[in-house]
Structure 1
Amino acid sequence: MLKLLLPLVLSSSFLVPAQASASSWTLPGVGGVGATVESADGRLRLKVSSKSADVLSVADLGVITSAGDLSKDLALTAESHRTLRTSYRMTTGKQRDRSVYQEESRLTFGNSSGSFALVVRVSDDGVAFRYELPGPVTVQRETGGFELAPDATSWLQPYNAQHENEHAQATASTAPTGQFGHPALFRAGGNYALLAESGLDGRYSGARLTHTQGSSRYDVQLADAAVASSGALATAWRTMIVGDLATVTGSTLVDDLADPARFSDTSWVQPGLSSWSWLAENSSPRDFERQKDYVDAAALRGLKYVLVDEGWSPVWLPELTRYARARGVEVLVWFHWTNLESQAQRDEWLPKLVAWGIKGVKVDFMESDTQGRYRWYDAILADTAKYRLMINFHGSTVPHGLARTWPHLMTMEGVRGEENGLNATRNTILPFTRNVIGSMDYTPTRFATPSNPKPQTTNAHELALPVVYESGWTHIVSSPEELASQPEGSRFLTQLPTSWDETRLIAGAPGSEAVIARRSGARWFVGGIRSGGAGTVAVPLSFLGGSGRWLVEVVSDSGSTLSRTSSVRRASEQLAIGVAERGGFALQACPYTAGLTTCDKPYRQAPGTTVLVDASSTEVAPGGTVQVQGIFVARTGGPVRDLVVAPEVPAGWTLVSRSPVRKNRLDDGESVSGSWTLRLGPAGARGDVELVVAGNYTAPDGRRIHSAGAVAIFAEPLPPRGSTYVSDLPWTNETNGYGRPQQRDHSHGGDNPPGTLSIAGQTFAKGVGSHAASSLTTWLGGACTRFVADVGVDDGTTTGEGSVTFVVVGDGRTLASTPVIRAGDSATHLDLDVTGIKRLTLATTDGADGKNSDHADWGGTALTCAP
């Protein structure tokens, strides 16, 4: 990270009276953006201007606390000013390197109920303010309301907790009564104003805007009824990005106000394009073989990642990860947020993902702006950073500058994205609203085919979206077959970065058109989209700069396929690009030299390699050893260089023989082998364990590739003793049909919190709560003789909705199986002989009518074992 420059602190006598009255002060401005604070009858107002034109104001500044009303009868008690100059670097966003110049004014006001500091920062792209209060304090609400010109055009999104409604255009006064989410866009004359939040985390509460039709005022409503702090409290920044449309679109104000990065080594943080199957084929994440097709499609086109969404299984995900990494593709994996809700869950899952080779997680369905949920964001961001796992928040709030504070945050949803259908009008609003404030997980680029036409947008429109929209991870939603149907589109995606040195708005207007240029190194990429009829888009090339010549390649619609044209141009020229109805285009430009025919950088697939692994035994007891042999084979596409072959030692195991096998070069058809002894320690993982041998090497294109194989063995746990319960034992395997994992001594709850295990009014202090279809296995080791349980559908399920069958399996043999049990049915009692059983499995099925509401309870689950 770049080292921050210390702020320059100036004298406190900075305020310049706007008039002779001492109740009005002009704050220091920056680059044509100005701010004025006024006090009338003890009430405060902040006025914001751009290029000497009033844009908006904030009336009745202040807060209501449990101690009283801090919005009236206010008197100034102190003032200070400082100039802030900072520099920082982002891993994502519209501009890697940021230089910030802000003027900060701090005005302290008080009345008989207490005091607060109004902190205002002015920069060349807007104004922000927040309240700072001495503690302890409980804030009940903020009183400041944003006031716009009544006829100011508005683009507002009705609020919901996942921020996924459509934007609607109206005026500031005619917009309907209701709640609206951040960011909110207004236009008054030649100036725009985008209202947002920044510096928001678990120390405060999220907010939305409230409005009454007929008024042009928008008030702030917190998600929580109260925010308490035992010490001093700083609210979130109320952020007003102002200026022309190019200034608003290019603003970095939300990031500029956020806390600096919590860590400096970002070498492991890698933005990139990803192949993603869920939208094209909702059931495909459950299909190991189909996921391999998506890996192959990513490898063929140089996409850095494949995202495996809801439905993946821990049974095959490690193997898929090895398959992908051997082909130069890294794996990202989806989680319902409740699977990572607690510290214990994160402590279990995150190191496991790292051991599998997973590079990042997509966490979904948070859907809340409360302080409690923001505290969870803080916790999981810290934990994933600890394990060097990148993260994407889906079903989430919108960005508040978190990507600056946590550089491994690649993107956030908080948008009505392509999974909600294709919509050309929506697409031309989002560049000027939601995407201004941070990376946006829109999941774009669904190509049409003759068998699957998509008339809402064209293929060129879809191809332009990963340029028009900024996202550190961009998940491409076309299937392998759809990608193959558009070779020019696939070729363009192979070249496309997702992190940028520079971004510029070329042309556009919310709801009708957006043309955005982004630079990575010496190359420029431009995406253009429109919502209306066919026509010509004018693209001035002045953004290229300089007096030299540029090779410009344009991909546009040619009927149902994409075609590419090339020309040599100068920055003084202008392109006229024809686009279809609801169409678009994608452009790549690079400095021209004689004979240059394409801007494409060469891409070469990873060599074909195989790692064969064998073990001396299929089972190992605690303290025992197993010998592992690995053979690395270079098959095609080599040579491979700087090869290191060694086992990946699971946590709690030790490597008895430690030397890796090294080879400077292997040509196609050559191989190298090694043998190592591993010992299972007392803290080693138990159950089904994969012992992995990996070869790490340098490919011909310079990439470092990881190729591995594995052998499965069973690490025996210690058998249970005496009287115990399945919920108190370690589980060697566990899968669940929905949401969070199976719950020990609580019901599952579905989307609701876990509760008491209850079947037809009968409650259980011990047991397991699951959601069909589910399975768990625990090790008895032949030490137990009896298993007793009462099973049924949890009372938290509406009568008649849930339908479950329960199955008990011992060492692969079915010991008991119930008929379909429904919500409201009495518990079915199980009393089984488990003498000699080593592995006991408790499974449920969905009753053959789908998994909805199938909340299954295993009440008791008592075991009688040898003392």
Structure 2
Amino acid sequence: MKYKYQFIITFFFLISIKNLAAQTKSYQIISPDKKTSVNVSSGERLAYSINYNSKPILLNSTLSIALSDGKVLGKNNKVLKTSKRSVNQTITPLYGMAAHYKDVYNEFTIQFKDKFEVIFRVFNNGVAYRFKTSLPGKIQIKEEEINYQLTADSDAWLQTTNSFQFSYEEQFFKKKISTLTGKPLASLPLVTESNGLKIAITEADLLDYPGYYFTYSGTNTLKGVSPKFVLKDTVGGQDNFNKISTQDADYIAETEGMRNFPWRLMILAENDKDLLYNNLVYLLASESKIGDASWVKPGKVSWDWWNANNLTGVEFKSGFNTETYKYFIDFAAKNKLEYIMMDEGWSDQFDLLKVNDGAVVTSGTTALSGSLDMPYLFDYAKQKGVGIILWCVWHTLDRQMTEALDQFEKWGVKGVKVDFMNRDDQTVVRFYERLAKEAAKRKMIVDFHAAYKPTGMERTYPNILNFEAVQGLEWSKFSDVDILTQATILPFTRMIAGPMDYTPGGLYNANKEDYRKSFFRPMTWGTRCNQLAMFTMYYAPFEMLADAPTAYEKEPEILNYLAAMPNTWDETVPIAGKIGDHAVIARKKGTSWHVAGLNNWTGKKVTVNFDFLDEGEYQATIFSDGINANRIGNDYKKSTQKINKTSALEFQMANGGGFAIQLDKIK
């Protein structure tokens, strides 16, 4: 009898093992070019791994979403069915780094009985996945499990923080991923490598959900963590411009049960230079939600804040007054710049209906000395064909959104620059979308500063023209930190996420020894040509010219070059580069090309081959570092010559230098 019971127990044990094994299913998705294979397994755990050219790139990495009711999507879930499709299409963005984006991928969807799906997309240059739920009512997300198990403790270019109250304005440093053990968190994008392949990790289509960061969980694994939902916050931080969380929930999001979750994206590149141009974040974002967007107008901006309204040689005292901004408007109109900015100081920061400096806010026909007559300025700007953008503290605009935007619409405001969010919890992400919608209703553009990284929202709301999320030129006003060291890191890291409002164009250029910070008379790290190159290198549909109108007017060669610079492009071609060392890129608009090179603090020679050009000859206008640029940053040389696709030019880039070329087709 004893043996009989043992036999029965053994029999059912073997049956249960067999059933468990039957529940574990494996699938494979191959990229269109056959180089990338994604292996997915479902059963007790949902996991995936990636091979590239038959080499492991990502080892078995688990993924799941834990709900507050105890359910876990991605653990012990039964597969209902699977489906696959191949997509080969062309997307035509309203504006972008190219006139057309190729959208080519193989997609695999696993549908589970627990009313959720996981979708994988495999591109030739990347892999992405997302969850999709079909649950009733509202749901609370306790945690989303995001893991990337690499093949080694790899070097990575990291931007770190000790808090979720983070401005995305720290520098990128090269460190081992294991340095993220403990307190430091790494923001996205993060660039690393695995088995010799460059990998950039970020997210796309972030809507009504918090962003995420990386920590290190051992075994060469990057683990995603998200800020909790903010239950209470209070005004604080710099000049009370921020809102600081005082009470967090025990969940990260409360959202609709029927929805798509953000895409978790790995961009793959065999060479550093291939990271210079990538549009996967845009392609993975939701399509436009604002209907007709033909009114959205990218462009350049004459900016007041960086140069502290330092107009020289004028017959009035410059500052927050009507005469100063009339000058900005005239400058913009004369040089065909689309906008001027009225930055911090035009209003009470905490009441956008209260204009500073005793300004007249009723209809006026005469410019008043020593005051800001807003109706007069907006009428004057309209006559000149120039739009005015207004700066706002985010929580002030959030509190006054309807009445402030209505007043702005009456004045004729063309857009808002919104500042000091410094967070990407669900509340702030919701604010982005709410503002984008309300601004679009009034045909206003949006520029987000002190912002989290782009996630493709500029596709979903194309009136969002730019995002800061970078330690940009403004830091030269108030910090001694060497921002030039970042110049050749950002094109391979931060730029992967999307548009970047770096705000280049300073004309007081200095080397390391001569540089000093000055809030009211700022200078730049590096050479004049380094600044010029940024206008091509850093993609910015809404691009500020940082220096004062009168400073540019004293440099007509520079002004003419920048005034003619496109903001959006028909084609982009990476030419050369190494992260943290140098970067060279070419961009086309119409029949003209612009080529730019950026260098770090070590002088070097680079050769540009022009084989990307169309047939025929081009007139090249070349700005290169002058022979004394290592000592005097303002030193540059302008030259012209004819170029064709068989040409090659060698450039000696100075320490902190660069070059900028405009190539116009000769008919």
> TM over 0.5, yes or no?
yes
Residue of structure 2 aligned with 1:490, choices 555, 559, 562: 559
* Structure (1 or 2) with the larger CA radius of gyration: 1
- Residues 1-48 of structure 1 deviation map (CA, whole Å, 9 limit, x = unaligned): xxxxxxxxxxxxxxxxxxx99743211322245232343872233222
1:349 matched to 2:353? The reply is no
- Residues 176-201 of structure 1 deviation map (CA, whole Å, 9 limit, x = unaligned): 54211111111335421111111111
Instruction: Give the number of the structure whose residues are more often helix, by fraction.
Output: 2
For 1:122, give the aligned amino acid: V
Change (3 A) 1:223 1:163: same
For 2:145, give the aligned amino acid: T
Greater shift after overlay, 56-65 or 303-312? 56-65
Q: Is the 8 A contact 1:153 1:188 kept in 2?
A: no
For 1:482, give the aligned amino acid: A
- Residues 739-758 of structure 1 deviation map (CA, whole Å, 9 limit, x = unaligned): xxxxxxxxxxxxxxxxxxxx
- Residues 123-175 of structure 1 deviation map (CA, whole Å, 9 limit, x = unaligned): 12211101123314332112231122324321011145321111110133345
- Residues 558-590 of structure 1 deviation map (CA, whole Å, 9 limit, x = unaligned): 343433111112212211122211101111112
1:317 matched to 2:381? The reply is no
Residue of structure 1 aligned with 2:617, choices 522, 542, 549: 549
For 1:423, give the aligned amino acid: I
- Structure 2 residue runs without a partner (length 5+): 1-21, 229-250, 311-317, 348-354, 360-372, 477-481, 515-520, 629-633
- Residues 279-328 of structure 1 deviation map (CA, whole Å, 9 limit, x = unaligned): 12179763433333333333343322111101114432332233333334
Secondary structure at the counterpart of residue 588 of structure 1: strand
For 1:477, give the aligned amino acid: A
Change (3 A) 1:458 1:32: farther
Residue of structure 1 aligned with 2:207, choices 191, 198, 201: 201
Structure 2 partner of 1:563: 637
Structure 2 partner of 1:120: 120
For 2:501, give the aligned amino acid: D
For 1:401, give the aligned amino acid: G
Q: Is the 8 A contact 2:387 2:413 kept in 1?
A: yes
- Residues 418-468 of structure 1 deviation map (CA, whole Å, 9 limit, x = unaligned): 112362221111111111221111111211169968472111101111111
Q: CA–CA distance in 1 between the matches of 2:278 and 2:468?
A: 19
Structure 1 partner of 2:265: 239
For 1:90, give the aligned amino acid: P
Secondary structure at the counterpart of residue 144 of structure 1: strand
Structure 2 partner of 1:848: none
Secondary structure at the counterpart of residue 292 of structure 2: coil
For 2:211, give the aligned amino acid: G
Q: Give the root-mean-square deviation of aligned CA atoms.
A: 2.6
Q: Is the 8 A contact 2:151 2:220 kept in 1?
A: yes
Secondary structure at the counterpart of residue 158 of structure 1: strand
Q: Is the 8 A contact 1:361 1:389 kept in 2?
A: yes
Q: CA–CA distance in 2 between the matches of 1:175 and 1:584?
A: 33
Secondary structure at the counterpart of residue 31 of structure 2: strand
Q: How does 1:66-77 map to 2 (within 5 A)?
A: 66=68, 67-77=70-80
Structure 2 partner of 1:255: 282
Q: Is the 8 A contact 1:447 1:482 kept in 2?
A: yes
TM-score (structure 1 length as normaliser): 0.62
Secondary structure at the counterpart of residue 30 of structure 1: coil
- Residues 101-136 of structure 1 deviation map (CA, whole Å, 9 limit, x = unaligned): 2221111356xxx46322111112211101123314
Q: CA–CA distance in 1 between the matches of 2:319 and 2:207?
A: 32
Q: Is the 8 A contact 1:162 1:397 kept in 2?
A: yes
- Residues 254-302 of structure 1 deviation map (CA, whole Å, 9 limit, x = unaligned): 1111111124433211111111111121797634333333333333433
For 2:502, give the aligned amino acid: Y
Structure 1 partner of 2:135: 135
Q: Is the 8 A contact 1:246 1:505 kept in 2?
A: yes
Instruction: Give the number of the structure whose residues are more often strand, by fraction.
Output: 1
For 2:171, give the aligned amino acid: E
TM-score (structure 2 length as normaliser): 0.80
Q: CA–CA distance in 2 between the matches of 1:48 and 1:292?
A: 58
Structure 1 partner of 2:194: 188
Change (3 A) 1:531 1:190: same
Q: Is the 8 A contact 1:148 1:172 kept in 2?
A: no
Q: Is the 8 A contact 2:473 2:524 kept in 1?
A: no
Q: How does 1:735-814 map to 2 (within 5 A)?
A: none
Residue of structure 1 aligned with 2:574, choices 493, 500, 505: 505
TM-superposed CA distance for 1:377, in Å, is 1.6
Q: How does 1:835-846 map to 2 (within 5 A)?
A: none
1:271 matched to 2:298? The reply is yes
For 2:440, give the aligned amino acid: A
For 1:260, give the aligned amino acid: E
Higher relative contact order by CA 8 Å / sep ≥ 6: 1 or 2? 2
Aligned length: 566
Q: Is the 8 A contact 1:33 1:123 kept in 2?
A: no
Q: Is the 8 A contact 2:619 2:643 kept in 1?
A: yes
- Residues 80-121 of structure 1 deviation map (CA, whole Å, 9 limit, x = unaligned): 1122344433233312322312221111356xxx46322111
1:44 matched to 2:49? The reply is no
Change (3 A) 1:531 1:175: farther
Residue of structure 1 aligned with 2:451, choices 383, 396, 403: 396
Structure 2 partner of 1:573: 647
Q: Is the 8 A contact 1:361 1:390 kept in 2?
A: yes
Secondary structure at the counterpart of residue 215 of structure 2: strand
Structure 1 partner of 2:441: 386
Q: CA–CA distance in 1 between the matches of 2:72 and 2:264?
A: 20
Secondary structure at the counterpart of residue 43 of structure 1: coil
Change (3 A) 1:352 1:444: same
1:179 matched to 2:213? The reply is no
Change (3 A) 1:449 1:154: closer
- Structure 1 residue runs without a partner (length 5+): 1-19, 594-867
Q: CA–CA distance in 2 between the matches of 1:441 and 1:426?
A: 14
- Residues 640-677 of structure 1 deviation map (CA, whole Å, 9 limit, x = unaligned): xxxxxxxxxxxxxxxxxxxxxxxxxxxxxxxxxxxxxx
